[in-house]
Chains A and B, each alone.
Chain A
Amino acid sequence: MAIESDVLVIGGGLAGLTSALSAARSGADVRLVSYKQSTLRNASGLVDILGYTPNGEGPLTDPYDAIPDLPSEHPYKTVGLETVRESMELFDEVTPQYRGSHTDTNALLPTHGGTIKPTARYPAGASAGVASDSRDVLLVGLESMTDFNAEHAAAHLDAAGVPFDVRGETIRFPGELRADAKVTRYAKMLDTNSEVTVRGRKKPVREAIAELVNTEIENESRVGFPAVLGDDHTAEIRQELGEKIGADVFEVPMGPPSLPGLRLEDRLFEALDEAGGMFETGNPVEDFEAEDGHIEHVLVEKNGAMVPYSADEFVLATGGLVGKGINSDREGVFEPIFDCHIDHSEDRYDWFDTEAFGDHPFASFGVTTDDRLRPLDGSGDLEFENLRAAGSVLGGYDFAAEKSGSGVSIATGYEAGNHAATEAQ
């Protein structure tokens, strides 16, 4: 018997999860299939809506203000300002661990690169670090962690003109960790509050860390650590450290593997489960069958067999170049599952700018859609009547330059999921 559902979402990142969630909450029978770990593990866990305009103006104080002036091909223009707001309401509702919903104004958050970036929502764990708070900060680095040098980050924040005094100190993480220990290893020790030996005496690791920080802290009322403060018990760890140190504790978002990104992914899968959505991970969608511009089913590879998954409506949320929802070879750029049209120059030397942070066309590669997020072919006709696209697989915006990745995924995921649910019922 074929596997059937009203809506089938392909992709388990922020766009796919939001899309499945919004379709499920609209009452549709939803199934999400994803292949590999999503790109959320690469993301800082900060949820940006819009930090800079496509012309590089910013940091923007109010992301919503700038949306009406975006170019027409921008996904925010496709879904419209009201949808962006509604989608953020859904996000806020399902992620009580996030902050920033009390205002339309962007926050400026320090990151491990040592500078600050504008963002619309931030994990509670990062909230005591906002740069517009004027309390002094002590950043604490870990000697073995090459990704974050607290003294360097502090000096860099100071150069960025933050309105507080900031200092960095480096400690050696207590316990017998290898020099190359992964962030998950630190997190695990903190989650379980493992015993470590300090100068011959055994004590819980959280206490040992607090003692080390207490020898360094002066009168700072905020203390920032790299984002390794637990995976399952992050709030509890922060609170305990905060009480022992006598300051608000926060995490500085980091690059991959990013615990805040993974925590967000976990939370959204949980929310999808609560909303009654089905999901399965680990098997790729390899092919599909369609008739008269209508997709009948996709074929999922399972242990070498091709299993058909049929649905009324399909959502393509497979990601961009990083997530491999968009792929390329020496001849061109393509969308690998449905071969949806991707607008690009035939000369691959037109795909990039010569400056590292120039205006890179490749950053905006993706499918073009109608106003209901359905991919269009090269002549502007629908590829399929029952396929919608969401997230980074969409073209027309450079999320890295704009700092708009999460917001576009949430807004287009929400819209695609809603439309799909409506059409399917």
Chain B
Amino acid sequence: MASVPHIAVIGGGSTGIGIARDLSMRGVDVTLVEQGNLTHGTTGRMHGLLHSGGRYAVADQKSATECIEENRVLRDIASHCVEMTGGLFVKRPEDTEEYFQKKLEGCKECGIPAEVVSREEARQMEPHLAKDIDKAITVPDGAIDPFRLVVANAASAKEHGARIETHTKVTDLLVEDDEVVGIEVEHASGAGKHVHGVEGGTEEIYADYVVNATGAWAGRIGDMAGVDIEVRPSKGVMTIMNIRQVDTVINRCKPKGDADIVVPHETTAILGTTDEEVDDPEDYPEKQWEVDHMIDTLSELVPMLEDARTIRSFWGVRPLYEPPNVGSDDPTDITRDYFLLDHDERDNLQGMTSIVGGKFTTYRMMGEEISDHVCEKFGIDAECRTADVPLPGSEDFSVLRDYMDEFGLRSPIGRRSVERLGSRADEVLKTDGPNPTVCECEGVTRAEVQDAIDQSGSDLNAVRIRTRSSMGNCQGGFCCHRMANELYGEYDELTTREAWDELLQERWKGQRHALWGQQLSQAMLNYAMHAATQNRDNDPADGTPIDFSAFDNGQAVTTGDDAGATDVATDGGQHGD
């Protein structure tokens, strides 16, 4: 075995990226592969709740205790990704007093700061809460941006020498004599940043150890080596509102149930969720009733949601796992805890461990545990430092400076840019040229978009998740072409056009679940701008060549008060062909 082992980590969600950061900080060589963008799987499809642990304080106290510990750590190391909104568990008259008391006691047992507030106090904090609620419990819930967090972890892992390959799918595990010795992957576009139209290829990556951190996809990787990993994927819907109806995380204080949380997130509020087992993490039904259920049920807590505008809905798949002997029928009964499956101990297959289950809030702790496990195998004696060293963007960032004068940004845009970039603001926003706004809904400027392009290649969806550009009310209606305009130059026209079309298609995908009222009106406007004005649906560059000579060439236009073209060529437009 080499003195510095090489570890292959599969999966670019929060868990995988947390492991990559941890191992690379301990001096281990790491290669991480992800089939899509970073956060492509479950991490990119969650409600962005930084758990206080309150939700698990009655039924799953181990998870609850882990949550509050990690909640404190993330506030420290990832301050630029976290907004400490605080949270409320709200009791309605029909919810039992018994459960309310259990929740309160449970929080205290798990070390979660919790206080009872009266109806009046709760409604002072959140004026849009229903008038007829009984009371509430305050807890330190927060909102966290999963994209920003994962990108910051990736940046840190790279600084410590890790190799990170996105758009790279594992096609097989390399197994020799009952030992996993590496992975075979297919790059969508060649190693490195994702660039459209660049020839991909397969690569065999040999490793001293493989970590399978693919969450709901873990079973597929297991199948490649003939081991069973019984992940039970469970889908949940999340519906995004156009504004923040609440500034605090609102939970319903009752035992389990669908549609029981509202998380304020940036300029929006996210309603969640459902919990339903699915067979395939990539192909499952997305139903109207789920969206309606969110709005109807959560209106009991926040009545104004009933008539509010939703901008899109999306579904995520929880990577739930339970040990083979438990056998829960209902996915809501499956533990949210995580499990480390060492395939040597479990299946007599050396060289690989899978990590399954768990929650976004405890991603770092999971990374620590599996890194300890790997280091122990190789006799490496290195401390975990991920709980102490701030992520890039969160270093030395105690006061939000007023960047308006310094960077010539309008005040709200400057503030939001700085919140997103954290301590990287200086580095990103100091540009030579003017820095106009690209996405008005989310206040994203050219400098931020250019920075994201530098990091992520020609993939505009990757630019989107890094900057939030095109993620606001208009859902890209006004800025998709602007993002494409920013991409051109670094990349050629064809590459830009492909990335632009992918972005339009992705933006359409989630809006389909919000198509009524104002958002249907918005969708029609977007369609009109993109199809009628820009002709994106019938772009001659995509289709068959046009006989330009068959169309009006502008001749005979010299009458009227306002002379137009003169001296037009008369060859009907064959020049240059």
List chain A positions with a Cβ less than 8 A from chain B: 42-44, 48, 51-52, 56, 58-59, 61, 96-97, 99-100, 102-103, 105-108, 111-118, 124, 127-128, 130-135, 143-149, 151-152, 155-156, 158-165, 172, 178-180, 221-222, 235, 248, 250, 253-256, 320-322, 324, 327-330, 347-349, 351-352, 354-357, 360, 362-363, 399-401, 403, 405
Q: Which residues of chain A are near B515, meaning CB under 8 Å?
A: 348, 351-352, 362
Kindly name the residue among A100, A147, A178, A356 whose own CB sees the greatest number of chain B CB atoms within 10 A: A356
Task: Give the contacting residue for B437; candidates A132, A146, A328; CB below 8 A.
Answer: A146
List, sorted by A's number, 8 A–B pairs whose CB atoms are closer than 8 Å: A105-B552, A108-B546, A113-B533, A130-B553, A146-B482, A152-B496, A255-B529, A357-B537
Task: Give the contacting residue for B517; candidates A96, A329, A355; CB below 8 A.
Answer: A329
Task: Give the contacting residue for B528; candidates A113, A117, A158, A322; CB below 8 A.
Answer: A322
B524-577: which have CB < 8 Å to A? 524-525, 527-541, 545-546, 548-557, 560-569, 571-577
Query: Taking the nearest CB of chain B, how far is it from the CB of A98, in angstroms?
Result: 9
Kindly name the residue among A114, A149, A254 whose own CB sees the greatest number of chain B CB atoms within 10 A: A114
A152 contacts B532, C-beta separation under 8 Å: no
Query: Taking the nearest CB of chain A, how far is it from the CB of B27, in angstroms?
Result: 44
A348 contacts B516, C-beta separation under 8 Å: yes
Task: Give the contacting residue for B438; candidates A59, A146, A152; CB below 8 A.
Answer: A146
Does chain A have a CB within 8 A of B224? no
Task: Give the contacting residue for B529; candidates A152, A155, A256, A347; CB below 8 A.
Answer: A256
> What is the bound-complex CA distance between A411 and B553, given in angstroms?
25
> What is the bound-complex CA distance between A56 and B537, given in angstroms?
9
Known contacts A130-B553, A360-B527, A400-B527; is-contact A97 B562 (Cβ 8 Å): yes
A322 contacts B521, C-beta separation under 8 Å: yes
> What is the bound-complex CA distance between A250 and B565, given in angstroms?
9
B551 contacts A357, C-beta separation under 8 Å: no
Known contacts A56-B538, A347-B288; is-contact A144 B434 (Cβ 8 Å): yes
Does chain A have a CB within 8 A of B486? yes
* A-contacting 9-mer, from B1-9, B80-88, B504-512: B504-512
Task: Give the contacting residue for B568; candidates A44, A135, A158; CB below 8 A.
Answer: A135
Known contacts A180-B410, A405-B532; is-contact A106 B574 (Cβ 8 Å): no
A255 contacts B551, C-beta separation under 8 Å: no
B562 contacts A115, C-beta separation under 8 Å: no
A96 contacts B560, C-beta separation under 8 Å: yes
B554 contacts A128, C-beta separation under 8 Å: yes
Query: Taking the nearest CB of chain B, how far is it from the CB of A122, in angstroms?
Result: 9
A127 contacts B288, C-beta separation under 8 Å: no
Q: Which residues of chain B are near A165, meaning CB under 8 Å?
A: 576
Q: Which residues of chain A are near B573, meaning CB under 8 Å?
A: 131-134, 162-164
> What is the bound-complex CA distance between A103 and B482, given in angstroms?
35
Known contacts A56-B538, A151-B489; is-contact A400 B531 (Cβ 8 Å): yes
Residue-wise interface mask of B (424-445) relative to A, using a CB-CB cutoff of 8 A (1 in contact, 0 not): 0000000001111110000000
Kindly name the residue among B533, B562, B577 whose own CB sees the greatest number of chain A CB atoms within 10 A: B533
Residue-wise interface mask of B (93-128) relative to A, using a CB-CB cutoff of 8 A (1 in contact, 0 not): 000000000000000000000000000000000000
Does chain A have a CB within 8 A of B192? no
Does chain A have a CB within 8 A of B481? yes
Known contacts A59-B546, A128-B564, A160-B540; is-contact A328 B482 (Cβ 8 Å): no
Known contacts A108-B546, A115-B540, A127-B565; is-contact A328 B575 (Cβ 8 Å): no
Kindly name the residue among B512, B553, B572 whose own CB sees the greatest number of chain A CB atoms within 10 A: B553
Q: Which residues of chain A are near B541, meaning CB under 8 Å?
A: 115, 156, 159-161
Residue of chain B at shortest CB distance from A166: B576
A133 contacts B551, C-beta separation under 8 Å: no
Q: Which residues of chain A are near B540, meaning CB under 8 Å?
A: 59, 115-116, 160-161
B436 contacts A146, C-beta separation under 8 Å: yes
Does chain A have a CB within 8 A of B292? yes
Query: Taking the nearest CB of chain A, how far is it from the CB of B76, in angstroms?
Result: 35
Residue of chain B at shortest CB distance from A347: B288
Query: Taking the nearest CB of chain A, how far is it from the CB of B349, in angstroms?
Result: 41
B554 contacts A115, C-beta separation under 8 Å: no
Q: Which residues of chain B are near A130, meaning CB under 8 Å?
A: 551-554, 565
Query: Taking the nearest CB of chain A, how far is it from the CB of B315, in angstroms?
Result: 14
Q: Which residues of chain B are near A405, meaning CB under 8 Å?
A: 528, 532
Query: Taking the nearest CB of chain B, how far is it from the CB of A8, in angstroms?
Result: 25
Query: Taking the nearest CB of chain B, how far is it from the CB of A43, in angstroms?
Result: 7
B446-499: which have CB < 8 Å to A? 446, 478-479, 481-482, 484-486, 488-489, 492-494, 496-497
Known contacts A56-B538, A401-B531; is-contact A152 B485 (Cβ 8 Å): yes
Does chain A have a CB within 8 A of B341? no
Task: Give the contacting residue for B539; candidates A151, A160, A248, A352; CB below 8 A.
Answer: A160
Kindly name the residue among B478, B565, B569, B574 whose own CB sees the greatest number of chain A CB atoms within 10 A: B565
Given A118-B551, A133-B553, list of 7 further CB < 8 A pairs? A61-B550, A103-B556, A132-B548, A132-B552, A134-B553, A143-B434, A147-B485
